[in-house]
Amino acid sequence: MANDKMMAQISEKGGFIAALDQSGGSTPGALRLYGIPDNAYSGDAEMFRLVHEMRVRIMTAPAFHRLAVTVLS
């Protein structure tokens, strides 16, 4: 069964899961923790562009070659 195979893969192999929230409420705080101050962007569009760039760096970094990601919205 597919679910059993997926459960075995996720419980027995290396890597980790990242859930990357994009509700907007927590995004400014996440950017601050990443070193991007509130005055580095103007408005939601720029804020979400910056957080998207952060996600791309995470998902494409060689150190995270076994990374399962979901974006929560």
Q: What is the pTM of this model?
A: 0.61
User: What is the model's pLDDT at position 42?
Assistant: 95
Considering only CA atoms, which of 45, 6, 1 is closest in space to residue 22?
45
Task: Kindly state the DSSP code that residue 69 receives in the 8-state scheme.
Answer: E
DSSP three-state, residue 66? coil
Domain boundaries, the chain: 14-72
What is the pLDDT confidence band of residue 57, given thresholds at 50, 70 and 90?
Answer: confident
Q: What is the pLDDT of residues 20-55, one digit of tens each?
A: 666 668 888 888 988 999 999 999 999 989 988 888
Q: What is the pLDDT of residues 11-29, one digit of tens each?
A: 777 666 666 666 668 888 8
